[in-house]
């Protein structure tokens, strides 16, 4: 069943082809993935993580729907992240806990920058630009700090219109 999905050559003599419609093959594939996860969870706890659900395709959402139905009876901890506007059909189940993570405060952004720069300090105006341009999103804070501290970049001027003081 998975060989065609992975473009793996298979011997028809050893493994007969499944004569399923594309829709039925898709459904069987999703069911098999869920069955594999359930089998793993019978032997040890499973942590299933999927980020950025707001960018997820319909087939993955269908897989998640099948998995979410099974979660209360299994040893599967599921961690899903998404933007607030994303509301899957199953988000109000009693066994689902939703948490809202707020943007970082300017103080928290400054703390991340300080920890990432290993003692190098940016001028105050550069730090303020990092705070303003990243909108408190941790990934953006890290990436802009790396870009600003990178020796391969011509100081920091292309990003911030300023120079970095080592």
Question: Average pLDDT for residues 45-63, to the nearest whole number?
Answer: 94
Please report, to the nearest 10 degrees, the dihedral formed by the alpha carbons of residues 51, 53, 58, 59 taken in order. Answer: 20
Q: What is the pLDDT of residues 103-132, one digit of tens each?
A: 999 999 999 998 888 767 778 888 899 999
Distance from C-alpha of 7 to C-alpha of 110, rounded to nearest angstrom: 48
Q: Are 54 and 85 in contact (CB under 8 A)?
A: yes
Which of these ranges, 14-18, 66-70, 95-99, 155-159, has the smallest mean pLDDT? 155-159
User: For position 65, what pLDDT does the model report?
Assistant: 93
Local confidence band at 150 (pLDDT 50, 70, 90 cut-offs): low
Q: What is the pTM of this model?
A: 0.67
| pLDDT greater than 90 at residue 30 | yes
* Spatial distance between the Cα atoms of 150 and 155, rounded to a whole number of angstroms: 7
């Amino acid at each position: 069943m998975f060989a065609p999905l992975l473009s793996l050559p298979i011997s028809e003599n050893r493994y007969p082809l499944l004569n399923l419609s594309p829709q039925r093959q898709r459904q069987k594939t999703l069911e098999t993935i869920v069955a594999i996860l359930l089998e793993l969870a019978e032997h040890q706890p499973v942590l299933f993580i999927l980020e950025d659900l707001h960018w997820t395709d319909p087939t993955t959402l269908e897989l998640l729907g099948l998995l979410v139905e099974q979660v209360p009876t299994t040893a599967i901890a599921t961690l899903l992240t998404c933007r607030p506007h994303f509301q899957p059909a199953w988000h109000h189940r009693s066994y689902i806990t939703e948490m809202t993570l707020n943007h970082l405060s300017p103080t928290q952004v400054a703390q991340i920058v300080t920890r990432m720069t290993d003692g190098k300090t940016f001028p105050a105006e550069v730090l303020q630009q990092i705070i303003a341009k990243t909108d408190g999103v941790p990934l953006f804070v890290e990436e802009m700090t790396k870009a600003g501290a990178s020796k391969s970049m011509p100081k920091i001027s292309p990003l911030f219109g300023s120079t970095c003081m080592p």
